[in-house]
Amino acid sequence: MHKSHFFRIASAFPVLSCFRGWSNFGRSERAVIEQLSNVIKTRMKERTQGEIRGKKDFLDYLLDESDKREANNEIPFHHDTLVSNLWGLFIGGFETSSTALAFMTHHLARLQMVQSTLFDELEEEFGGEEEMDIERLMKLPFLNAIYCETLRATPPVLTGAGRTCTMFSCYYTF
């Protein structure tokens, strides 16, 4: 990945990070933040018009809490607080999910036998269907085992928690 000269200088001198907005990353970041801000404004407008969503998401819960605070004469969440929470969820959810899927794909590419067994399980469950629904995918035992083993062997987030293997066992090695 090409890093700008500004990024290198700002890394060496953190006080200069306030100028990040003028870098390429800063412009992209602003576009995403603006989109998140628009989502919040749209959702708030829908709520004031009485539109009820079927399932609540994290933003709905944040807005509920903000409304509760306002009703109790407390300070509601500032718009920037809502945006920063969504930004954190967006980055955290995107990076960890994509990293886990990349590791899983890597392991499947390396282990032809595991890949074939998974293919057989998917064929048995879905056959010639064009679409796979998440409810049935979640019930596939071998797919779940691959997913769990991928997360165990190559976690997308380093937690720093030390683990000690007390007994060696091998099902499929990555």
Instruction: Give the tens place of pLDDT for each residue, 29-46.
Output: 778 888 999 999 999 999
Give residue for tokens 């995107």. Answer: 94
Digit-coded pLDDT (tens) for 3-24: 455 455 555 555 555 555 555 5
What band does 99 get if pLDDT is binned at 50, 70 and 90?
confident
- Report how far residue 140's alpha carbon sits from residue 127's, in angstroms, rounded to the nearest whole number: 14
Does pTM top 0.75 for this prediction?
A: no
Whose CA is closest to 137, among 122, 115, 127, 147? 122
